[in-house]
Every structure is written in C-alpha cells, then in structure tokens.
Amino acid sequence: MIDGGKRNVLGVLVDSIDYDAVVARVVSAAGERRPMTVTAIAVHGVMSGVQNLAQRVRLNRLDLVVPDGQPVRWALNVLYRASLRDRVYGPTLMLKMCEEAARRRLPIFLYGSRAETLALLRQRLTERFPGLIIAGTSASRFKILSKEEQEEVVQTILVSGAVITFVGLGCPRQEVWVYEHRERLPMPLLAVGAAFDFHAGTVRQAPPVLQRLGLEWLFRLLMEPRRLWRRYVILNPLYVVMVAAQCIRLASFDVAPRHDRIQEIGYG
C-alpha cells in the first residue's frame, strides 16, 4: 500500500497513492459518516488547474486527487521518485469501491450522466456485485442549477441512506460539484470521470494495451474527434513541455494557497 502524500504537478497537488490506500481511506470515511472528497485526474484535469486559478484552488482543497492518467503517474515518478507501478484509474477505482461496498454492505449513490445510462449502470453493477446496495440515482441536468435545484439534489442523496456517492459529471464539472458539496454531504464523494458511461456500456473503453502505454487519449480522440481534439491535440503537448520544464527546474508552479474566495457555479 502506497500513500505518499500530495505532490506539486504544475501547481496541482496530486496524491502519490495506489488503489489499496484510496479504497482504505474511502471505506474508513464512509464507515464513520465523515465527509471526504476524491477525484481521479488525468492530463485534462491537471491542465484545467493550470489554466484556471479558481479550479486549481478547488483541486488543491480536495482530500484526494489521484493520478488517473498514465502521464500524471509518470510525472509523479519522474519529479518525486514516487515508484508508482500503476495509475489510479477512475473506472477501475469505481469497481474496486463497489466490490468493497458490496462486501461491507455500504449503500452507494450514483449522481450524473443521463437517466438511461444510470439505468444500465445500476443493472450492470448489481449483476457484477450481487450484494451491492444502490440506494439511489440522480441524472445530471446538464446546466447550472439554481439554489433550490442544488438543495433538491443534496436532499435526494441524504434521504437515500447512501454513505458513498459516485459523481459522473465530466471534468471539470464534477470536481466543481464535489468541492462545492464537500461540507453538505457527510460521506465520501468520488468524481470518477467517464466511469458511468464505460460501465454502463454506452461508451467503449480503450484496449488495455493502449491504456498501459498512456495512449487512451488517442483512442478517445479517434472515437470523438470533434468534441475532444482541443483537449488532446493542444493540452497534451503543452502538459509534456511544462512537466519537462518543472523537472529541470526551468519553471516552478504555485499551488495558490492564498486564493480564498471562489465563485460557486452549481453544476448539475
């Protein structure tokens, strides 16, 4: 089990951690009904913090920011000799958490994506983990919510009896949501990216060999070029250049601890 604490990657504090340590910390928080915020972050997530100061502050105030993408894991290994043998991939983390939740009878809630995706996801998860208790689901409304709508979502989760909530709103919306609700929901909130779509079977995952080589981005770009080309064609090379600059100490990046006021957005 590896839990080496937070490390500065381009100003974003990423945890040098493995699956076992994440699962253990989430289970502990769920058992104690204690708030906890977790996101699995790839290159796009790191770059959202590089380009947006408010988002960087949000990320740096989350309890766990785990290395979802291979290039993020590589950066931790190169910059800090973290010796991480694997990333903490959001979809895999979700499955490991569901397995443990089923074993311990910890009810979960699924928030995000579309209603039809959630229906498929519920079916597939309960088939894979027969003891899993899915206390409730709520689809994204794909807009900025009013205060009343935000409160409705919070109450739906609270009254469900869930002790862990998985959030699938997409980056960076899900990190904003987890940050803004970290004090309102006494449970772990896990932002798991495209895990809902992958496990529901509505979106294809990259072949394992591409995932191991850090080329999942290429597979996703080929699947959705119009939506994703800016994210991968522009941000990925920029990330590599900036990490190289940090590695040879040509540049340093502030984690922005003094930025106290952040405008709430209320995605949902």
Q: For the residues 147-157, what does the mean pLDDT come to?
A: 88
CA dihedral 228→84→58→206, nearest 10 degrees, is: 20
- What's the domain count of the chain? 1
CA 72 from chain centre, in angstroms, equals: 13
Q: What is the pLDDT of residue 208?
A: 82
**246 to each of 11, 92, 249, 250, how far by Cα in Å?**
10, 29, 5, 6
Residue 104 placed within a domain = yes
Residue 238 placed within a domain = no
Residue 91 placed within a domain = yes
Which 8-state DSSP code applies to residue 146? P
**Domain encompassing residue 46:** 3-200
pLDDT classification of 240: cutoffs 50, 70, 90:
very high
Asked if pLDDT for residue 231 goes beyond 90, the answer is no
pLDDT > 70 in the chain, percent? 98
250, two tokens: 């040509």
Residue 264 placed within a domain = no
Which 8-state DSSP code applies to residue 250? S
**255 to each of 12, 242, 249, how far by Cα in Å?**
6, 15, 16
Q: For the residues 38-47, what does the mean pLDDT come to?
A: 95
Of 39, 6, 68, give the one whose Cα is nearest residue 175. Answer: 39
Q: For the residues 52-56, what does the mean pLDDT come to?
A: 92
pLDDT classification of 214: cutoffs 50, 70, 90:
confident
CA gap 155, 177 in Å, rounded: 15
Q: For the residues 60-75, what does the mean pLDDT come to?
A: 96
Phi-psi region of 204 (alpha: psi -120 to 50; beta: other; left: phi over 0): beta
- What is the secondary structure of 187-234 as a DSSP string? SEEEE-TTHHHHHHTSSPPPPHHHHHTT-HHHHHHHHSHHHHHIIIII
Asked if pLDDT for residue 219 goes beyond 80, the answer is no
Residue partners of 121: CB distance under 8 A and separation at least 6 = 110, 113, 137, 196, 199, 200
> What's the pLDDT tens digit per position in 121-138?
999 999 999 999 999 999
55, two tokens: 């988002």
> What's the pLDDT tens digit per position in 154-210?
999 999 999 999 999 988 999 999 999 999 999 999 999 889 999 998 888 778 887
Residue 60 placed within a domain = yes
Q: What is the pLDDT of residue 258?
A: 63
Asked if pLDDT for residue 260 goes beyond 70, the answer is no
Q: Where are the alpha helices (H) located in the chain, listed in sequence order?
A: 19-31, 43-51, 53-60, 70-80, 90-104, 115-128, 147-160, 173-180, 195-200, 208-212, 216-223, 225-229, 235-247
Residue 210 placed within a domain = no
Q: For the residues 234-252, what does the mean pLDDT come to?
A: 92
State the pTM of this model: 0.91
pLDDT classification of 16: cutoffs 50, 70, 90:
very high
CATH number, domain of 88, equals 3.40.50
Residue 192's φ and ψ, nearest 5 degrees, are -120, 20
- 14 HSE (CA, 13 A, CB side): 34
Residue 50 placed within a domain = yes
Mean pLDDT of the chain: 91
CA gap 205, 227 in Å, rounded: 16
pLDDT > 90 in the chain, percent? 72
Residue 48 placed within a domain = yes
Amino acid (1-letter code) at residue 43: V
